[in-house]
Amino acid sequence: KPLARWSAQKLRVTDVGVGPRDLKFASACDDHTVAIYSIDSEKPDRVIAAHDGPVLSVDWHPASSLVASAGADSALNVWDARSGSRVASRRDFQDGGVTRVRWNANGNWLAAGGEDCTIQLYDIRKFDVFCQMRGHPRAISALDWHPVHERMLASGCSGGAVLQWVVGYSDP
């Protein structure tokens, strides 16, 4: 039986990300929003009009109040969960939306996967792409970093392939 239930968003929730402290979490939704929740509240702290289309993925920075969101509008955004303000935005995916987003364990790198079958890595200190990974035959549908080996990333695609990557080594 669930401990709590929220209904702030009107359509399908596509992803959730848990905050590193303060018992908060974020949800991504098809209604173009990212909602920030506190465990001890019946309503969301804030609902952010995050994208011009469905929000497909969300992830909370491992050590701060930053929340990254990925959208069908091809935008990758970073938000301050405390204020709801956008602190960074990129549109580097040319063919389709950004489907998944995940921070690495130290929070310096942000991985984003797209419908264009690529994964782009951003150094959050400059919010620049420093690596682009190709190898999937279809849109990226899953991403996750290894919790200890910061340079190791796993990805999956809608075609069923799962690839393992090491940043700095080009072949999956």
Each residue of 75-102: pLDDT tens digit? 999 999 999 999 999 998 878 999 999 9
Q: What percent of the chain has pLDDT over 90?
A: 81
Residue 8 binned pLDDT confidence (cut-offs 50, 70, 90): low
159 phi, psi to nearest 5 deg: -90, 0
Provide the pLDDT for residue 42.
77
Provide the pLDDT for residue 172.
52
What does the pLDDT look like over 125-160, one tens digit per residue?
999 999 999 999 999 999 999 999 999 999 999 889
- Kind plus residue range of the DSSP H or E element containing 164: strand 162-166
What gap in Å lies between CA 172 and CA 159, rounded to an integer? 16
Provide the pLDDT for residue 2.
78
Q: Is pLDDT of 105 > 60?
A: yes
Q: Is pLDDT of 37 > 90?
A: yes
Q: What percent of the chain has pLDDT over 70?
A: 98
Mean pLDDT of 11-20: 93
**Could you tell me if 50 and 33 are in contact, meaning their C-beta atoms sit under 8 angstroms apart?**
yes
What mean pLDDT is reported for the chain? 92
* E strands in 4-161: 13-18, 24-29, 33-38, 46-49, 55-60, 66-71, 76-80, 86-90, 98-103, 109-114, 118-123, 128-134, 140-145, 152-157
Amino acid occupying residue 130:
F
Q: Is pLDDT of 115 > 90?
A: yes
Which has more pLDDT, 160 or 170? 160
Q: Is pLDDT of 170 > 90?
A: no
